[in-house]
Structure 1
Amino acid sequence: NLQYLSMAYVNTFSIKGLQYLAAGKGCRKLSYLDISGCTQVNTDGMKFIAECCPFLNTILLNDLASLKDEAIMQLVNGCRNLRAISLQGTNSLSDHSFQYISQLKKLRKLRIEGRNNLITDTSIKALGRNCLELNHIYLVDCPRLTDLSIKALAPCRQLNYLNVADCVRISDTGVRHVVEGPASSKLKELNLSNCIRISDVTLLRIAQRCTELQRASFCFCEHVTDAGAELMGGLSNLVSIDLSGCFIQDQGLMALGNNSKFRKIDLAECSTISDFGVQVMCQHCRDLLSLDLSHCVLITDNAVKSIAFCCRLLKSLKLGGCSQVKMIFISQISNQQPPKHS
């Protein structure tokens, strides 16, 4: 009756062991399997897994840099009930693998992270066409993906989480298909970090259509400005935003204060924000749990004093690189206030 099995980063078992599993009956009801980091698992090993786990619905295949397309084919052929696949750091798979994965009609969660120079729009088109129940999609650091991939995901009406961080060829044009598509009102998390072609145009569309959005990241989207920040401040369900490295000034920072529900705000390397903007924002965002102002070089002790006075629930405060903030002052504030700082 075993249903959950993790052998992550265990390199002491061999393919023979997987063959024993296939020959026995103990894993027939297995629904969750983690073999991340088990680099000894090859195509034959995946075949044995597919044979012994017909009801598998979640598999983690992280950090398997040498895993081949043929292994994914064997997995898909035997495990037709898969709903979640994680491929973090498994970057040797090509479009062929994802064409096989697209045959899994019940697939709901797919996680691809780690630089993959092989996967193209062809893969995402197949997924968008066949896996209509997808609700979590992570396509992180896949530099060959373009706006055509995002357009292909528009038919996925159940989409809640979309992460295309570091996909540098994606622009406003592509993201529009999702944020104005049938899933726009269901989208809860959107990560466009380091998508350098994204601008305030996308944030405008998000503000208009993605009313349930809770977490958003536009880290190092250099074309995102105060205008975009003002729009995000109007999203009443948004509790976390990352605008690190964006062109945000005090005006945008103060506009974030329009949403008192914020729990986490990251503004690292927004080098033009000052004490005044931080003071106004903190007067309204009093329930903040985490604030990152690393390398905001204009910040001084006055901003830290306002943070300590207004944000009594703060647990994490990052001030690395803020050269005008004195460590002695931080120590004094820490004795009155519990936030952790770095």
Structure 2
Amino acid sequence: MESQFEITGALLPDDCLQIIFQNLQTRGERNAFGLTCRQWLQIQNLARRSLALQLSYDPKVYRNYAIYLPRLLTRFPCLHSLSLAGCTELPDSALTELRHFGSNIRSLSLYCCFSISGHGFAHVSVGCPHLVSITLYRCCITDAGLRTLAEHCRVLENVDLSHCIQISDQGINALLGGCTKLRRLIISYCMDIRGTGFAGCSPTLTYLAADSCILSPEGLFLVVRGGGLEYLNVSSLRAYIDPDVLSVIGAGSASKLRFLNLRMCRFLSDHSVACIAQGCPLLEEWNLAVCHDVHNEGWFKIGSTCRNLRILHVNRCRNLNNLGLQALVDCVRLTVLYMHGCQQVTYMGLEAFRMLRQDVEIRTEECVSIGSTVDNFFAN
């Protein structure tokens, strides 16, 4: 009976075998499927959609990856997702097969792939024209590499360039100009970006993380000018600039903004707070932790204007006192208040707030990021 089954199975067309494989429930069953014969193994290989090389601290492992990756790309030609995260010593030569087998890849992670040069990024750009998401965290990509990427990968929607210290506004401008569907961009800790590359920014850009960047006043204006931003993180803005410059966020172009992180923007003024509160009516979460220049005027404006605000961070705000805290009572939809280290708020002031707003959860832990549940939405 077993021999008869093997003969019958071998005679089945590929489309029937694909349906059978897709309906297998467990990993053991799927692995056993490929052991039947070469035809079934080929069906198993064609059905594989994701591949992730495991992180290792052994340099010998990465040298083996360089040898086996081209073979794996040849074996699994229909991959949609490929992760090479942590392969710090992966050479350009390991990516050459992407030119032949990368056309189906939609998501690629080169997280901390330090050894990849312009030639490697060229293999990626030319070989993966249908990329939707790419992670280049701490990679050595340059403006020229970004131009090549934008030229060939025009359907990109999600790009992570955090800690890519060799890119500037020229590269960002090329990326935005070539990838007209870009929705999510991370440029945190990219010290040579001033923001001028965002000129002509597409309204499709809804998520921008620029933590610890050195954006100029003009650059910040261009960042929000596209009009589509729903998430903006400019925490720890590096340069000390005009205290009212952040008011451009509330000048009208960012009216769709729902999540705003201004943590450690110590020069943020009450005037800027008032402009943002007025100009961003959809704001749901606002991080103002360590914003020492916000005084009672700013807190009163938040309380009276931010009708959709659900989560507010005020950790270590030196000028939040009992009066300012009471002003936040008027935030009708406020449900979570992150607050610790506010030395001017007394025990009595805190208890008075709790009596008036028993529906608000006061959390004392530090929370650096915002919109954690929405991050996944923007990433997909």
- TM class, shorter-chain normalised? 0.7 to 0.9
Shift of residue 230, structure 1, vs aligned partner: 4.4
Does the CA-based 8 Å contact 2:195-2:220 persist in structure 1?
no
Does 2:81 align with 1:58?
yes
Moved over 6 A (4+): none
Q: Which residue of 1 aligns with 2:51?
A: 33
C-alpha offsets along residues 80-106 of structure 1, whole Å, 9 cap, x if unaligned?
211111233443433232111111211
Q: Which residue of 2 aligns with 1:250?
A: 270
Q: Which residue of 2 aligns with 1:274?
A: 295
Kindly provide the amino acid, as one letter, of the partner of residue 232 in structure 2.
Answer: A
Does the CA-based 8 Å contact 1:207-1:232 persist in structure 2?
no
SS for the counterpart of 1:307 is helix
Does 2:346 align with 1:310?
no
Shift of residue 319, structure 1, vs aligned partner: 2.6
Show the 5 A alignment for 1:106-121.
Answer: 106-113=130-137, 115-116=138-139, 118-121=140-143
Distance 1:64 1:334 in 2: 50
User: Considering only CA atoms, is the larger Rg found in Structure 1 or Structure 2?
Assistant: 2
Distance 1:108 1:147 in 2: 22
Q: Which 5+ residue runs of structure 2 have no aligned equivalent?
A: 1-17, 23-37, 365-380
Give the TM-score taking structure 1 as reference length: 0.82
Q: Residues 329 and 86 from structure 1, CA distance in 2 versus in 1: closer, same or farther, beyond 3 angstroms?
A: farther
Show the 5 A alignment for 1:190-269.
Answer: 190-196=208-214, 198-208=215-225, 210-221=226-237, 222=239, 223=241, 225-232=243-250, 234=252, 235-246=254-265, 247-258=267-278, 259-269=280-290
Q: Give the share of equivalent positions with the same residue, in percent.
A: 23
Distance 2:205 2:96 in 1: 31
Shift of residue 333, structure 1, vs aligned partner: 4.2
Does 2:317 align with 1:293?
no
Q: Residues 310 and 172 from structure 1, CA distance in 2 versus in 1: closer, same or farther, beyond 3 angstroms?
A: closer
Kindly provide the amino acid, as one letter, of the partner of residue 268 in structure 2.
Answer: I
SS for the counterpart of 1:88 is coil
Q: Which residue of 2 aligns with 1:10?
A: none
Distance 1:62 1:270 in 2: 35
Q: Which residue of 2 aligns with 1:47?
A: 70
Distance 1:224 1:66 in 2: 44
> Which one of the candidate residues 98, 104, 110 is aligned to 2:121?
98
Show the 5 A alignment for 1:77-88.
Answer: 77-88=100-111
Does the CA-based 8 Å contact 1:62-1:90 persist in structure 2?
yes
Distance 2:170 2:249 in 1: 26
Q: Which residue of 1 aligns with 2:205?
A: 187
Query: Which one has the bigger helix percentage?
Result: 2
SS for the counterpart of 1:56 is coil
Q: Residues 152 and 268 from structure 1, CA distance in 2 versus in 1: closer, same or farther, beyond 3 angstroms?
A: same
Deviates more, 1:137-146 or 1:48-57: 48-57
Distance 1:192 1:100 in 2: 28
Kindly provide the amino acid, as one letter, of the partner of residue 334 in structure 2.
Answer: L
Does the CA-based 8 Å contact 1:239-1:263 persist in structure 2?
yes
Q: Which residue of 1 aligns with 2:8?
A: none
Q: Which residue of 2 aligns with 1:160?
A: 183
Does the CA-based 8 Å contact 2:318-2:343 persist in structure 1?
yes
Q: Which 5+ residue runs of structure 1 have no aligned equivalent?
A: 4-19
Distance 2:101 2:353 in 1: 59
Distance 1:132 1:224 in 2: 37
SS for the counterpart of 1:102 is helix
Q: Residues 318 and 36 from structure 1, CA distance in 2 versus in 1: closer, same or farther, beyond 3 angstroms?
A: farther
Distance 1:105 1:225 in 2: 44
Deviates more, 1:54-63 or 1:99-108: 54-63
Provide the aligned C-alpha RMSD in A. Answer: 2.7
Q: Residues 291 and 93 from structure 1, CA distance in 2 versus in 1: closer, same or farther, beyond 3 angstroms?
A: farther
Kindly provide the amino acid, as one letter, of the partner of residue 361 in structure 2.
Answer: P
Distance 1:206 1:146 in 2: 14
Q: Which residue of 1 aligns with 2:32?
A: none
